[in-house]
Amino acid sequence: MSSPWSLQPEGSPETSRLIIERAHEDLVTGNAREEGLRAVRDLVRDSWRRSLAHLVGAEAPPPLDLSAEELAEYRRTHPLAGVMEMVRGLLLPGETTESGVVVAVGDAAGRLLWVEGDRRVRTLTGDMGFVAGANWSEDAVGTAAPGTAIALDRSVQIRQAEHFNRLVHPWSCTAAPVHDPETRRLLGVIDVTGGLEAVTPQARLLVDATARAIEGELLVARLRARAEQPRPVRRPPRRTGRAILRVLGRDRAVLEVTGEGLETATELTARHAELMLMMTTHRQGVSAERLGELLYGDPSAAVTVRSEVVRLRKVLKGAAPFLEISSRPYRLGAEVQTDAHEMMSLLDRGAHRVALAAYRGDVLPDSLAPGVEEVRDSVRRALREALMSEARIDVLLAFADTDAGADDVELLRLCLAMLPPRSPRRAGLVARVERLEAS
């Protein structure tokens, strides 16, 4: 089946990209002129002003609102989960990975839940943070089809430099909101992102038609379920707090807790930080003897481990009561995320630039615990391998400026190979390579 995105736009946009880029630059630098802004569509100009009012950064990557585990659970229960096959069939027929566009489905808050489509385009858009779990509302990233469609509650098309965020200027997108077929409550948004073929009149008709088809399918499925099944018993959701252990670039980890009436940030001792990291890494549970090996390199240190666990329990009782530590094996009573695992989740989703921004340094850099050293090495290795195999040159250069990449000759040589011959960055990189190879 041929791709519906093979049609190219007829002619050039009414307003040239250069004029829009200049108006955008004047606006974000505080030098906006009315005559320049008049060259921009009213819809876009109004959205730019809303973006400024919400203090949206013109080059900031979108926030990642959902961890991998939260995303999986949320998708499983979201009303649009049952229509994803329909979305794929209508917007990505044929060879999905070579469609030339990316199709995203988000929730009513603008958080992307599914991002699928052309493999190459997904790699490039993922680099700017267009990945599942990221927040693409207007409040978060400014003018973009998903967030602006939600803000206006109608379908929109945003071309290239009309985006508020400069990182998104190479792309164009069409999006339409999806509503509950009975209450008309906003359920989410459908978006198609790619080149200018994603903002043709045909693209808008197809995305609008897909949104209406989804609403019809939701209504049919709902009526069928009512006819076939008894009304389910409503159970109150299980309430619990959310905890994240921040270990990147910190000698003493910070445990951040939200929910259940709590909002705390507790700095842990070095040993408690190591102990918490080991229990979050070994979620299935770990014995005292194994913890002795991981923390002290000695399984006979189990007695010391038990004493530290007793002290850590007292700390958690005040900071995070839902994180009770069970024994035999030692295991946390609720799931704890680490910022290191969240960064690696970003890498898995192709959001290299966002992952690098989240990498604030090595895991507990001063720790000599064998288990911590193993985690530290695996995180650094995962970051390096992902960036060197898939990232763009600007992301690689930023990585080369971190402590993790500063002395990496192979990385520096890869940057040189990717840079154009006349790039002003070449001389500095050559000097660094020569210095490192001479030392």
Does 176 lie in the same domain as 72?
Answer: yes
Does 249 lie in the same domain as 213?
Answer: no
Does 142 lie in the same domain as 72?
Answer: yes
In a domain, 254, yes or no: yes
The series of mean pLDDT values per 10 residues for the chain, 439 residues long, is 58 58 67 67 89 86 89 93 92 76 95 93 89 94 95 94 91 95 93 93 93 92 78 56 88 84 84 93 89 91 90 87 85 88 88 88 93 93 89 88 89 92 90 90
Question: What pairs with residue 174 in β-bridges?
Answer: 157, 192
In a domain, 83, yes or no: yes
Domain with residue 250: its CATH number is 1.10.10
Instruction: At 419, give phi and psi (nearest 5°).
Output: -75, 145
Cβ contact 59:179 at 8 Å? no
Does 162 lie in the same domain as 115?
Answer: yes
How many Cβ atoms are within 10 Å of 302's Cβ, its own excluded?
Answer: 17
Does 171 lie in the same domain as 195?
Answer: yes
Cβ contact 270:251 at 8 Å? yes
Last residue of a domain, one of 185, 206, 228: 228
Cβ contact 142:48 at 8 Å? yes
Residue 39 zone, left/alpha/beta (φ > 0; ψ -120 to 50; rest):
alpha
pLDDT at position 159, please? 92
* Widest CA span in the chain: 78
In a domain, 98, yes or no: yes
Does 200 lie in the same domain as 91?
Answer: yes
Give the Å distances, CA to CA, from 134 to 20, 380, 429: 26, 23, 33
In a domain, 251, yes or no: yes
What tokens appear for 203 in the block?
A: 């693209």
User: Torsion angle of alpha carbons 254, 258, 263, 269, nearest 10°?
Assistant: -20
Does 204 lie in the same domain as 66?
Answer: yes
How many Cβ atoms are within 10 Å of 279's Cβ, its own excluded?
Answer: 23
Does 250 lie in the same domain as 168?
Answer: no
Threshold 0.85, pTM exceeds: no
pLDDT at position 180, please? 93
Q: Which residues contact 389 (CB under 8 A, 6 or more apart)?
A: none
Q: Which residues contact 197 (CB under 8 A, 6 or more apart)?
A: 5, 6, 7, 8, 9, 100, 101, 203
On the CB side of 27, how many CA atoms lie within 13 Å of its CA?
34
Number of domains in the chain: 2
In a domain, 188, yes or no: yes
**Domain carrying residue 152:** 17-228
Last residue of a domain, one of 272, 307, 338: 338
Domain with residue 141: its CATH number is 3.30.450.40
Cα–Cα distance for residue pair 262/255, rounded to 1 Å: 12
In a domain, 121, yes or no: yes
The average confidence (pLDDT) of the chain is: 87
pLDDT at position 267, please? 92
What tokens appear for 206 in the block?
A: 């197809």
> Helices 42-53 & 145-152, crossing angle to 10 degrees?
90
Cis peptide before 329 (omega within 30 of 0): yes
Last residue of a domain, one of 338, 369, 386: 338
pLDDT at position 373, please? 95
pLDDT at position 27, please? 66
pLDDT at position 374, please? 94
